[in-house]
Chains A and B, each alone.
Chain A
Amino acid sequence: MSSLAFVDLSVRYGRRDAIAGFTDTVRPGEWLCLIGPNGAGKSSILRATAGLVPHGGRIEVDGSPLSLRSSRRRAELVAYVPQSPNLPDDMTGAEYVLLGRNPYIGYFGVESQHDLAMVASVLDRLDLADFARRPLGTMSGGERQRLVIARAIAQEAPILLLDEPTSALDIGHQQQALELVDRLRREHGLTVVSAMHDLTLAGLYADRLALLHQGHVVATGPAASVLRPETLSEFYGVSVSVHHEDDGTVVVVPRRTSA
């Protein structure tokens, strides 16, 4: 298990600060969910951690800065699932999951027996064995999302970044995907950082929420403390009612403002 620390993280696009002064420590095995309106900086934090955009400040895994790592070593530590992954139609499921082994294969090398065995066992554990030989183009949205998660698991990184993992899925497949991430995180001791729009689901699965607004953290803590009507109204500009179920689930429901 690995910890992930952000120290005064900043990301700029041109002259605009996408994120500024972000400091947080995600404990080993914790699931932190970033929430906030569009453009609040959620994706920028994930993209900076995956090494896709230059950033100021520091991002540390177990106390050592990620920026000092080679790109391959970084990929051994951090797996990234983008908001809309590219799945080539004519690639097979097994070929796709095998891409997750890329950091472990030398520049001119080919995959080892261990890499292939790893892919086989990931496909089995995620009930994807039937999809190994099938082209991605023939699969449904839920099946494709499970394969993307399988690729990230095959990467064997202790830290998993998920950018809007459920935005393209129906409610059943949303639950299925998040349950899968939750199960894998417990089995593998993964540290998870996700960005999500559905506040109820965010509160349901994450240990802790961080509410971002215009590049700054405005609230952080467990769901019950962050998901309050007055906070959400201030930063999302919405009118919501928040219900607390007996099992501790926090449910956020939009309210009709017209009479």
Chain B
Amino acid sequence: MLADPLARTATTARSVAARPGRWWLPASLVLLAVALFLGVMVGPAGNWGSADWNIIWNVRMPRVVLAGIVGATLSLSGASYQGVFRNPLVDPYLLGVAAGAGLGATIVFAVGRASTTTWLIDPLPLAAFVGGLLAVLITYLVGASFGANRNGVTLVLAGVAVTSLATAIQAFVLQRNTEVIREVYSWILGRLTLANWGDVRLVLPYVVLSSTVLLLHRRHLDVLRVGDDEAISLGTQVTRVRLVVVIAATMGTAAVVSVSGLIGFVGIVVPHAIRLLAGASYRRLLPLSLVVGAAFLILADIPGRVLQDPAETPIGVVTAFFGAPFFILVLRTRGRSLG
């Protein structure tokens, strides 16, 4: 090291590399462990060891694991969308991904769910993925044509329009196929309450692939923070990175929406809470979103189980209860920097 002339400079490589808050990841893992423990131990069938092992293994465990997977994926996808669109306001719901995924799934039900169950690959998550991807691409193209890079609000408005359109087409399809309305709505509302290990197996491959791709792109998202032109001049293939990240985030979102139904605000609340506490670098934000998002949704699912026992409070109600005020707070504090 002494032979290295750079070692004698006042600023060392070590001090450049040292980033504040290295303890955030261990801290978030502890949070996740606590959430897992509470999620498994609290419920109407008895707490802390009094519950039947069979209930814990076959009812609570899959539900907790699924909630964790859904929360992790929604917040990781939300943070990734915010990165590629350079817009702190977007999440899978505001971009129209969820509505597009719902439309794709509705079409599968309308065409005939019964005939597809024997297929080797279940077409339902695939149709949700295609619908979600189409929706986010239309949102982006419409938003970008009004200068989305300069004004993030146009992108959100485009997402609202695409959501309305997808919902309208969905209503039309349902009206012509009234016999599948019940199936479709139970799908949209989600099956988290009835989760079993089969649901976990259904989403896991999509979610693992999506998360891996997104985490591998976290350095690119930091480069994109300086804008398209500068990122290109720094050697990043912006269009390719954006496309890959959008596809991966949409695949994860569509997969979890197909088992959990509509759960809003996770993709906005979790990444922003992390930004406030641990900084905005995507290299830290993405892994933390994954872990904290899982913990957040597992914890958010607990009040739903015990508040109105024996009835269930839908988890989407709980997340919206916390998420909507938080979103308004984000609008107030970060909206100014969007201009």
Contacts and interface: CB of A to CB of B under 8 A. Distances in A.
B11 A124 contact: yes
A74 B230 contact: no
Given A113-B13, A117-B13, A99 B232 contact: no
Interface string B202-227: 00000000000000100100110111
Interface stretch (A81-89, A170-178, A197-205, A234-242): A81-89
Contacts, number: 102
For A74, A87, A90, which residue has the most chain B Cβ atoms within 10 angstroms? A90
Contacts of B329: none
B12 interface: yes
B226 A86 contact: yes
A123 B11 contact: yes
A120 B6 contact: yes
Interface in B200-259: 216, 219, 222-223, 225-227, 229-230, 232-237
A34 B229 CA distance: 20
Interface string A91-106: 1101110111011010
B203 to A, nearest CB: 25
Interface stretch (B14-22, B71-79, B110-118, B153-161): B14-22
A133 to B, nearest CB: 7
B15 A91 contact: no
B9 interface: yes
Interface residues of B, number: 33
A155 B234 contact: yes
B15 A52 contact: no
For A92, A98, A108, A116, which residue has the most chain B Cβ atoms within 10 angstroms? A116
A240 B15 CA distance: 52
Nearest to B12: A120
Q: How large is the interface on A (under 10, 10 to 19, 20 to 34, 35 or more residues)?
A: 35 or more
A82 B229 contact: yes
B309 to A, nearest CB: 43
A108 B216 contact: yes
A99 B233 contact: no
A102 B10 CA distance: 24
A75 B233 contact: yes
A50 interface: yes
Interface of A: 47, 50-52, 71-76, 78-80, 82, 85-92, 94-96, 98-100, 102-103, 105, 108-110, 113, 116-121, 123-124, 129, 132-133, 155
7 contacts: A52-B229, A79-B233, A82-B233, A85-B230, A95-B281, A105-B219, A120-B9
Given A88-B225, A91-B281, A116-B17, 4 more contacts: A78-B233, A86-B227, A100-B234, A124-B10
